[in-house]
Amino acid sequence: MKLLIVESPSKAKTISKYLGAGFKVTASVGHIRDLPKSNKAALDIPGGFVPHYEVVKGKEKIVAEIQTLADKADEVLLATDPDREGEAIAWHIAQAAGLKRPKRVVFHEITESAIKEAIKHPRGIDQNLRQAQEARRVLDRLVGYDLSGLIWKKLRYGLSAGRVQSPALRILCEREREIRAFVPEDYWVLSVDVETHAKEKITLTCAEEPRDEKVASNIFETAQKGKWKVTDLKESEAKRSPRAPFITSTLQQVASTRLGFSPSRTMQIAQKLYESGAITYMRTDSTTLSKEAVATMAVAIEKEFGKEFVDLREYKTKSKNAQEAHEAIRPTDARVKRAGHSKEQQDLYALIRARTLASQMADAKLLKTKIIANVEGGGIPDFGVTGSRLLFAGWLLADPAAREDDVELPKVSVADPLKLIEAHSDKKQTAPPNRYSEAGLVKELEKRGIGRPSTYASITKTIVDRGYVEKENKSLKPTATGEVVSEFLEKHFADIISDGFTAEMEEELDDIANGERGYEKTLSDFYTPFLKQVKKKDKEVEKISNLGPAPEGTVCPKCGAPMIFKLGKNGKFLSCDRFPDCDGARSEDGTEMEGPKLTGEMCPDCGKPLIERDGRFGRFVACSNYPKCKYVKKDESAPVTTGIKCPVCKEGEMAERRGRYGIFYSCSDYPKCKYAIKAKPTGNLCKVCGALMMEGTKTIPERCSDKACPNHNPHKTEKVEKKGSK
């Protein structure tokens, strides 16, 4: 028997159908090992940046299962994804499971022919690719831990920074500052609705947008009174060539524009299509198409649209570090018109197929037309409209949505009279640059060389999840916290979060992957000066508790003193500059808000007032002079008991407590008895196993506290029973 190991259970299921008897296909369910949370335990920096990995919590059973299957197998094949991350996962599986002489197989599409062909050509694990991924992981850990630690000390606990996320945040904050600094100006858009001799309506717009109201009024009055005619007609034939097939970034951009999918959602759906064998691998920056695929596309195009629409092409990949062994994202069989188990999957597949077929089709031919008109006698600027007439659809037949807002104009001739229907004068203001959408940010990151196909979706998700950016309609707007963090990094670590440095580091990682650069040297060249810079800033920069004075006229609601901006856990707010003597506070927009509550007690260490604070584990009492004084009052109050006896020790009672994940219930006799459950006990005992019952949900009012008991999740048990009986 041969053992083939992939990452995804659904992928394993698909591949099993193709290989049949003689093969056992199993899944690692993603990553097997990772760096521990503690940076000290994770890396041996003096020893050459050697990472110390540990098996991901919960994956121990999977590792044991792989070991058991490998012992019975004649040959072990590692078939993880065909990129650096996949190469690293293959290596981790081999290391964690102690595999002897495993072989690596790579395929870019999950089809029977591709998999069987890959198995014929196994190779060893590519250590260059593996080290490039390891270098990225270690580099991100070094930057993230050291920068985040400094930000915790200088700004606020719980904030973070990252090698790639911080440049992305900086781009968004720079745009936000441009928007704020923008000074709008009034201007007028003038247009007329006219009718041709063939009774076809067209709208003509003034070539000028006057900034003066009198000038605009004069043009408008003349446009209303005059007789209109066509003064000029410009026509020219033009060709419109198809775009290259999708790569990761362009797929994310177009899926956002046409389907409304976020980059992360697009990648999730594409992953499902890939695992089901519908499309090729979706993390790629190469526009290459295999000869076999192109031949299949030619057949599909000829059958659907006609032989005259076939025009086979090759596309040059823009990324100089693209892996040409990869292909663009395409259907595994272009003749298949529909694929996917959900509407989202079907829509994305249709988008990918349309773009792929269009890339191998003839140019569209259009008659570009510009109609220019004016009133008899002139005296005002020309009015006009630009559009086109489709002479030959070409590739637009496969992807009609790509024509977008191209206007089809009626046929007219010079000197033709035009009947005025209505004139319009719209006062507008010049607009600031738009905020980036998720798709726009991906495009900008790709343009600047920041990140790689596998990271685009996670970059946006990270800065949103951490509260640095919020989505406003389809735009990404930095939060107050995000702006403060970005300003701190721009001021003190401008080189680290610059486009040039980030793009250069990506190129160095590519060099490691190509075997042209050493792992240890790359990390050492970066980390030695970086660590010195962090230590220097740690000494030089004071804790930033004052973010500047409040707008003039904003005073404390309690004592009337001036106010200053501070950074709290929910962003910027206004605090009385006499704090802690006065706890007056306002929200950023000036609305009065409740400040820290004074307890009336004084700190036994420094004599300053004690206040109530909100922490990760609930409210607590601490010194108002923090961080100079770090006194925290010990909570000596007894936990609230439920009156229900502990089922383990029979002496204590189940008491309500608060931990890092919220409220839970444990024995009041802790630490002698460490029995605990997640929800409030009901006092009843489980009829199946005898364990304590606890409160459940609306659909399961009461359930067993023992996870191993069927009564812990009755709905799941019912599904299993129904499936078994079926």
Query: Which residues does the annotation mark as catalytic?
Result: 281
Q: How many CA within 13 A on the CB side of residue 322?
A: 21
Give which of 70, 59, 71 is closest to 32, Cα–Cα: 59
CB atoms closer than 10 angstroms to residue 332? 21
Where does 311-422 have alpha helices with state H? 343-358
CB 654 within 8 A of CB 667: yes
Bridge partners for 618 per DSSP: 615
Give which of 54, 50, 6 is closest to 34, Cα–Cα: 54
CB atoms closer than 10 angstroms to residue 492? 19
CB 317 within 8 A of CB 327: no
Distance CA 322, CA 327 (A): 10
Q: Please identify which residue in the block is written with the tokens 């593996």.
A: 130
Distance CA 638, CA 615 (A): 19
Give the CA distances from residue 15 to residues 18, 20, 397, in Å, rounded to whole numbers and listed in that order.
5, 9, 35
SS3 720: helix
Structure tokens at 489: 């990094």
Give which of 60, 106, 103, 111 is closest to 80, Cα–Cα: 106
The DSSP-derived string for 333-360 is STT-----SSHHHHHHHHHHHHHHHHTT
H or E element: which one contains 511? helix 499-513
Q: Which residues contact 42 (CB under 8 A, 6 or more apart)?
A: 35, 36, 51, 52, 141
Where does 163-321 have alpha helices with state H? 165-181, 213-225, 248-254, 263-275, 291-304
The DSSP-derived string for 89-143 is HHHHHHHHHT-SS-EE---SB--HHHHHHHHTS-B---HHHHHHHHHHHHHHHHH
Q: Which residues contact 566 (CB under 8 A, 6 or more apart)?
A: 545, 546, 547, 572, 573, 574, 575
Q: What are phi and psi of 45, to 5 degrees?
A: -70, -50
Give which of 238, 210, 236, 237 is closest to 222, Cα–Cα: 210
DSSP strand pairing (103-104 vs 75-78): parallel
Q: Is cis: bond before 627, omega within 30 of 0? A: yes
C-alpha dihedral, 130 to 132 to 135 to 136, nearest 10°: -110
CB atoms closer than 10 angstroms to residue 688? 12
Sheet holding 653-659, edge to edge: 640-645, 653-659, 662-667, 676-677
Burial classification of residue 576, based on how many CB atoms lie within 10 Å of its CB (0-12 exposed, 13-18 middle, 19 or more buried): buried
Distance CA 52, CA 299 (A): 52
